[in-house]
Structure 1
Amino acid sequence: MVSKTEEAQVNRLENQVDNGGGGAWEYLCLVRKLKLRRSDKVLKHGLSILNEPSKRSSLGHEEWTLYEQVAIAAMDCQCLDVAKGCITVLQKKFPDSKRVGRLEAMLLEAKGSWSEAKKAYSSLLEDNALDQVIHKRRAAMEKAQGNLSGAIECLNKYLEIFMADHDAWRELAEIYVSLQMYKQAAFCYEELILCQPTNPLCHLAYADVLYTVGGLENLQAAKKYYASVIDLTGGMNTRALFGICLCTSAIGQLTKGRNKEEKESLGLQSLAATALEKDYKQRAPSKLSLLSSTLRSLKLS
């Protein structure tokens, strides 16, 4: 995850380069280091270096890294002739490179030659079954074709090997949610919370899934995870505050007449409603009346 300081540094360098102030190579290195996908800028400024022999030769061995970076950016921008040109240069320099072979397969994918790309990826995996990028590309390719079950299969196989990959768990969870497979999505978010216990977004997504599934036990658990989001964000997450209110209202309907459960929910619901009203007074005073009406309909105000 890119910090605000790093993002500001990238934006400053990008603005400098765009306005002719130099620093294109430093900008490209920083984008690569932070794993950003500013493909249009990378393509533009990368080509400005590659097209000038003196600038290109001054890079030394980093020249080949730049060819790879520009090739990927060109594929993102559908400038496939540029991508092919970069890959051809790399093929001549590294004729037996599996890394270049991966770029060739990616180019086939970018062209929409799905079956050829799939064969190329499969061949590369035979040589190196632990290539994370290729596993992810196969899942992305299935998703791009609308084959979500295929993407799920690829991601599950990948996660059997690379269980600590947070991004893969998140991607798999989002696909499950899109297919309304909430129990499977919940399992993915549980794995994410185990890996990143202090990340409020993981707790929030898990709470949303539990609330969607419904039932007293899930609603009670969802309320706890919404509460943990509020704790982790210092009370600054509006969605979690609304989640508390919605869970409290739903639990109240299911436990009507059970005084113990109602009393246990009373304190938290009151705090959440008060925090929401305070937040709206500061940031959206024109919508405060709408909020109050919503809370009354939930019997929270």
Structure 2
Amino acid sequence: MVSKTEEAQLNRLESQVDNGGGGAWEYLCLVRKLKVRRSEKVLKYGMSILNDLSKRSSLGPEEWTLYEQVALAAMDCQCLDVAKDLIKLLRKAFPESKRVGKLEAMLLEAKGSWAEAEKAYSSLLEDSPLDQVVHKRRVAMAKAQGDTSGAIEWLNKYLEIFMADNDAWRELAEIYVSLQMYKQAAFCYEELILAQPTVPLYHLAYADILYTLGGLENIQTAKKYYASVIDLTGGKNIRALFGISLCTSAIAQLAKGRNKEDKETSELQSLVATALEKDYKQRAPDKLSLLTIALKNLKVSS
């Protein structure tokens, strides 16, 4: 993730280059280092360097890195002829390179030649079965074709090898949620919470899924995870506060007198209502009356 300082530095350098102040190479290096996508700018300033023989030759071995960077940007911008020409130059310089092979496969993908791209990726994986980039490209290709089941299949295969990739777990969870496959999504968020227990977003998403699944046990667990979000955010997550209100109301109905923690529940309801009302008074005083009605309907009051 790019820090605010790094983003500010990148924006300053970009503005400098845009206004003719020089520093195009430094800008391209920073874009590459931060792994951000500024494809139009990379294509524009990268080609300006590559088309200038003196500038290009001054880069030394980094010239080939720039060819690769600009080729990727060209594919993003659908300038496929430009990408094709750059990749050809790379293939001529590095005839046995698997790295160039990835670019060639990605170009096939960009053209929509799905079968050829899949064949190319399969060949690359035969030689390098642990290549994360190629595995991820297969997922992206399935999604681009609208093949959700294929994306799920490739993501699951990827996670069998790279279990520590939290971004992949989250991507898989979001696909499952979009398909209303909540039990599978819940498993993904359980993995994420185990890996990063202090990230409120994962607790919140997990609580939402459990509440959606319903049933007394799930809702009781959802309430605990909403509470953990409040703890992790210092009580500042409104969605979690509402989640506790909804869970408390649902538990009261589902338990039907079996809840042995009525006093504790009542105190929690009161705390939640007070926190919500305080926040609404500060941020949206015009909607305070609507909040009051909603809380009364949930039998939550301060």
TM-score, normalisation: structure 1: 0.95
CA distance in 2, matches of 1:161, 1:12: 40
> Paired residue for 2:173?
173
> Paired residue for 1:213?
213
> Paired residue for 2:115?
115
> Paired residue for 2:147?
147
> Paired residue for 1:269?
269
> Paired residue for 1:42?
42
Identity of aligned residues (%): 82
Greater shift in the superposed pair: 126-135 or 84-93: 84-93
Q: CA deviation at 1:27?
A: 2.1
Query: After TM superposition, where is structure 1 displaced by more than 3 Å over at least 4 residues in a row?
Result: none
CA distance in 2, matches of 1:246, 1:74: 49
CA distance in 1, matches of 2:79, 2:291: 48
Q: CA deviation at 1:135?
A: 0.4
Matched, 1:93 2:86: no
Greater shift in the superposed pair: 16-25 or 99-108: 16-25
> Paired residue for 1:291?
291
Unaligned runs of 5+ in 1: none
Contact 1:43 1:73 in 2 (8 A): yes
1:259 and 1:119, CA in 2 relative to 1: closer, same or farther beyond 3 A? closer
User: Over residues 69-95 of structure 1, what are the superposed CA-to-partner deviations in whole Å (9 max), with x where a residue is unaligned?
Assistant: 111111112111121122112111111
CA distance in 2, matches of 1:116, 1:271: 60
Helix, strand or coil for the counterpart of 1:22? coil
**Number of positions where the alignment pairs a residue of Structure 1 with one of Structure 2:** 301
CA distance in 2, matches of 1:28, 1:269: 54
1:119 and 1:283, CA in 2 relative to 1: closer, same or farther beyond 3 A? same
Contact 2:43 2:74 in 1 (8 A): yes
1:75 and 1:223, CA in 2 relative to 1: closer, same or farther beyond 3 A? same
Q: CA deviation at 1:259?
A: 4.9
Contact 1:189 1:205 in 2 (8 A): yes
Amino acid at match of 1:198: T
Aligned alpha-carbon RMSD (Å) = 1.5
Q: CA deviation at 1:289?
A: 2.2
Contact 1:244 1:272 in 2 (8 A): yes
> Paired residue for 1:24?
24
User: Over residues 90-132 of structure 1, what are the superposed CA-to-partner deviations in whole Å (9 max), with x where a residue is unaligned?
Assistant: 1111111000000000011111111010000001101110100
* 1:56-205 to 2 correspondences below 5 Å: 56-205=56-205
CA distance in 1, matches of 2:97, 2:88: 12
Helix, strand or coil for the counterpart of 1:41? helix
1:27 and 1:291, CA in 2 relative to 1: closer, same or farther beyond 3 A? farther
1:188 and 1:286, CA in 2 relative to 1: closer, same or farther beyond 3 A? same
> Paired residue for 2:278?
278
Amino acid at match of 1:29: C
User: Over residues 146-181 of structure 1, what are the superposed CA-to-partner deviations in whole Å (9 max), with x where a residue is unaligned?
Assistant: 111111111111111111011111111111111111
1:267 and 1:74, CA in 2 relative to 1: closer, same or farther beyond 3 A? farther
Contact 1:255 1:262 in 2 (8 A): no
Unaligned runs of 5+ in 2: none
CA distance in 2, matches of 1:48, 1:278: 56
> Paired residue for 2:225?
225
CA distance in 2, matches of 1:195, 1:249: 31
1:70 and 1:176, CA in 2 relative to 1: closer, same or farther beyond 3 A? same
CA distance in 2, matches of 1:158, 1:103: 20
CA distance in 2, matches of 1:229, 1:80: 46
Greater shift in the superposed pair: 280-289 or 225-234: 280-289
Matched, 1:14 2:1: no
Greater shift in the superposed pair: 28-37 or 147-156: 28-37
Contact 2:220 2:251 in 1 (8 A): yes
> Paired residue for 2:253?
253
Q: CA deviation at 1:262?
A: 3.0
Helix, strand or coil for the counterpart of 2:260? helix
